[in-house]
Amino acid sequence: MILRDLLRLLGSAKRDGRNLTHDEAYRAFELILSESRSDIQVGAFLIALRWKGVTVEELTAFAEAARAHATIPCRGMQDLVCVCPPQDGLEANAPLEVAAGLIAAAAGLRVLIITDRCVPPKRGLTAANVLDALGLDMTWDPAEAEDWVARARFAVASASGLLPALMGLRRVRAEIGVRTPIATVEKLIAPRNAAIVIGAQAGPVLGMAVEVLQALGHPRGLAIQGAEGGVIPSVVRRSRGIELSGGFQTPLTVEPADVGMSAGAEPDLPMFGPPDDGYGSGDNPALTKACGELTQAVLAGQHGAARNASLLGAALILKAGGKALTIADGVSLATEALDSGAARELVARLKTLK
C-alpha cells in the first residue's frame, strides 16, 4: 500500500472517509519518513488528516513508527523525565524550559529536553537559542545525549538528530504553513521508560496528548497548556493540564497565586520588529541574546516573572518524575535547588563536557 492509497481512505468528504487503523497509520508514517516519498502526496495526506481530525490510535501508531526508525537515548535510565516543548518554538515568550530543566536536574532528576532549531512553520525560539547564549550546546548525537544525562543529569537533544528523516520534511512543513500531526509526533521521540512533560495547544488536544502517552506505555507523564502551547505555565492566569500516573489520568490546574508564583505580566521578550520574509524569531540574534540573558538572570537568583515561571516549570517536571507529590512541593524543591546555586553549578559542569 502506498501513501496515495492511504490518502484515499481518508476520503474527500467526511461521509466517504474513515479513520486509519493502527497498522494503516503505522505504514503511513513509515512512508512519510521514507526517502522515496512524494512531497506533494505527503502534504496532501497531512492536510487531509488535519481536516478529518487525527485520532489517538493514529497518533499512537505514528509515534511508534517514528520511534522504530529513531535512535533513542537513555533507554532504561531511572529517574528520567523528557521535556517536550513545541519543536517550532515560541514567538513572544522565552523558552524557559532550559532554566526549568536545569533546576529540576539540580533537584535530583535526570532531564532530557527534546527540541530543535528553526523548525517551520513558526521557526520560533527554542531551547537551542538559550543554549547558544549560555555557552552550551544542543547535541545531534543520541549517544552524546545519553552520556551527558548520565554524567551531569541534563542534556538537550535535537529531535532531527534522533530521527534524521525529520529534516527532509521541513520543506513540506514550510509550504503547508500550519501544524500537522508531525508537530506532536516529533515531541514523542523518547524512551518508553521516561516520564514525559509535553506542551499542548489550547482545545481538546490536551486530553489526546495524555491518552497517547498512556497508549505508548509511559509510566508517568503530564501535558500542560503553557504559553504558546509550551511546557511553562502562565504566571498570570491558571494553566490547565492532565497528569498520568499509575495508569490513571487526573486533571491538573496550575494556579500561580496558590503557590506564591504569580506575577503582573508574563516574562515576554522585547520586540525587535517583524522578522525578514521566510524567517522567524528563532533566526533573530538579538532575541537569542535576550533569551540567554533572561535565563542567566533566573539562574543568578534575580526575582521576577521569569524566575516564577521557571520554578513553576521545574515543579511540573519534578511532579511528573515522582519527586514531588504536589505542585507546592515541587516549587519548594525547585526553589531550594535554585537558591543554593546548584543549578548554576550544573551549567558550569555541562561546559566541561563540551
Sign for the CA dihedral angle at 142, 145, 147, 153 comes to negative
Q: Is 323 helix (H, G, I), strand (E, B) or coil?
A: coil
How far is 337 from 24, CA to CA, in rounded Å? Answer: 47
Between 271 and 320, name the one with better pLDDT: 320
Question: Has residue 5 got a pLDDT over 60?
Answer: yes
In the chain, % of residues over pLDDT 70: 95
Question: Has residue 31 got a pLDDT over 70?
Answer: yes
Span 173-221, pLDDT tens digits: 989 988 899 999 999 999 999 999 999 988 888 999 999 999 999 999 9
With beta carbons less than 8 A apart as the criterion, state whether 133 and 289 touch. yes
Q: How far is CA 109 from CA 105, 195, 284, 331, in A?
A: 5, 11, 32, 14
Between 248 and 7, name the one with better pLDDT: 248
Which of the given ranges, 27-41, 169-183, 218-232, has the highest pLDDT on average?
A: 218-232
How far is 333 from 125, CA to CA, in rounded Å? Answer: 28
> Strands 220-224, 239-245: parallel, antiparallel or unpaired by DSSP?
antiparallel
Please give the pLDDT value at position 1: 55
Q: Is 220 helix (H, G, I), strand (E, B) or coil?
A: strand
Sign for the CA dihedral angle at 268, 270, 271, 276 comes to negative
Q: Could you write out the DSSP letters of every residue in 61-78?
A: HHHHHHHHHS----TT-T
| Beta-bridge partner residues of 157 | 114, 139
Confidence of residue 275 (pLDDT cuts 50, 70, 90): low
Lowest mean pLDDT among 10-14, 201-205, 320-324: 10-14
Q: What is the DSSP letter of 282?
A: G
Confidence of residue 13 (pLDDT cuts 50, 70, 90): low
Please give the pLDDT value at position 314: 98
Lowest mean pLDDT among 24-33, 190-199, 274-283: 274-283
Please give the pLDDT value at position 271: 59
pTM comes to 0.94
Please give the pLDDT value at position 279: 66
How does the average pLDDT of the chain come out, rounded? Answer: 92
| Nearest residue to 126 via CA among 80, 93, 155 | 93
